[in-house]
Structure 1
């Protein structure tokens, strides 16, 4: 048994189905003689709803995942290089990206039949901030095997101009070429962050269009169901009327035959009949 493949499979299972699936896989590993694998599988913990939704997002939106990882690297570099104005601009961009990807994660979860409450969405937002701020959390998140979001929010939003250390005098602490490199990196960070935000908004718009198409299809299906039900009712009524008509025809035929027999008898019994 490929234990790593089993891990990927289980962390794609909805939380309310996780324990049963894990236990079944553990038993399967034991039957196959893989005691070590069975022990590893049995030790897996059920993911929270926020973690499960994030895992599903990672599996179903690989392009968004790559953009977020790239944005995290860019923002972490920008944190080291940008001045107060640039930091404020970067924080605004990353907030826009996070909001878009939280909506997309919620859409993915709802498509799977598990809508996210407001509190769970906050956990997902906290997770995205941690992903952008911490490369270790980003690596764990991108594996699609997250058990729960980080305990405390980590991100760039808390970094504001007032909390930044004083900027050293470039004439004293760095050469002119270092200042040029910093400006170039700052421009690149802003451009990449803006591209990521635009891509995230496009992904959300596409998800909304898919939702609208789904609702329209469901409405058409509901209308067709109503039409089928009406036709079935008419068919039942027609069959009932057919049975009644056939019964009446049969009774009429019986009455007619009886009348013919009675008439023939009367004719034979009539005076003067030869």
Structure 2
């Protein structure tokens, strides 16, 4: 158990150390694991991909201030609930408040993450950081991956999440009895609820499909890494055989 935790800790450190040294450190760890009698762990480490600058900055942010990232993700969860309520005829003001709260937190944490890059970060990289944090606040799977602190690449911005400027709020009644809901109101609300449920099902299906594809790609990468290792061994044996042949011909 301790050895497993040690390996996981070393893997985590790969993703927060300067990315320039990632490949060398990864290969050294994989070699040590293989020589130590754990080829499966060695293959898993070899399959790890060097994080791009934006992903590395988010990993550093999680490593240095996990609670701040968790606070952003919590607001994202509250925003999703407010969105569902608004679509069901609830308070759109709450949706606007949560959306603005999330926007401010994404901006704040993006700036913090960008500072780890030093100098004057490329705008495209800063945009990728913001998109990743926004995606994590909109999707539970993205949130889980961000909190793991092992991102290799950024997420795309979520589509259609948090844009509430066009929502209309029904004015309050000032304590008077609210107008009785009509059949049309009920039908419209039911229709919106069906649309939300259908969208949620499709989102879940697409996320599961993406997970399956990601697992397939990882498996293929692991097989490729294994074959490359066997190729290197075969090439080394071929060189040794060539040296031996040359010696015998003398």
Judge same fold: TM > 0.5, yes or no: yes
Query: Smaller-chain TM-score range?
Result: 0.5 to 0.7
Counterpart position of 1:42: 46
Quick one: structure 1 residues 134 and 172, their matched pair in 2 at CA, closer, same or farther if it must change by over 3 Å?
Answer: farther
Instruction: List, as ranges, runs of 4+ consecutive aligned residues in structure 1 with deviation greater than 2 Å.
Output: 82-93, 107-110, 151-164, 169-174
- Alignment partners' CA distance in 2, 1:35 and 1:27: 9
Partner in structure 2 of residue 8 of structure 1: 12
Q: Does the aligned pair in 2 maintain the 1:127–1:153 contact within 8 Å?
A: no
TM-aligned CA deviation for residue 159 of structure 1:
4.4
Aligned-partner Cα distance in 2 for 1:74–1:120: 28
In the alignment, which residue of structure 1 is the partner of 2:100? 92
Answer yes or no: is the 8 Å Cα contact 1:129–1:156 preserved in 2: no
Q: Does 1:133 align with 2:138?
A: yes
Query: Shift of residue 133 of structure 1?
Result: 0.6
Question: What SS does structure 2 have at the residue aligned with 1:77?
Answer: helix
Residue 66 of structure 1 is matched in structure 2 by: 70
- Where in structure 1 are there 5+ consecutive unaligned residues? 175-274
Equivalent residue for 1:118?
123
CA 1:157 to 1:31, structure 2 compared with 1: closer, same or farther past 3 Å?
same
Root-mean-square deviation over aligned CA pairs: 2.8
- Deviation of the 1:128 alpha carbon: 1.2
CA deviation map 1:93-113 (0-9, x unaligned): 221111111111122333xxx
Q: For the Cα contact (< 8 Å) 1:129–1:154, is it kept in 2?
A: no
Deviations 1:250-270 (A, max 9, x none): xxxxxxxxxxxxxxxxxxxxx
In 2, the alpha carbon distance for the partners of 1:108 and 1:54 equals 9
Report the structure, 1 or 2, having the larger helix content.
1
**What residue is the counterpart of 2:31 in the other structure?**
27
TM score, norm. by length of structure 2: 0.60
Shift of 1:33: 1.0
1:118, distance to aligned residue in structure 2 (A): 1.3
Q: Which residue of 2 aligns with 1:106?
A: 114
**What is the distance in 2 between the residues matched to 1:21 and 1:125?**
28
TM-score, with length taken from structure 1? 0.55
**Does the alignment pair 1:55 with 2:59?**
yes
The total of aligned residue pairs comes to 168
Distance 1:170 1:67 in 2: 39
Q: Distance in 1 between matches of 2:12 and 2:182?
A: 53
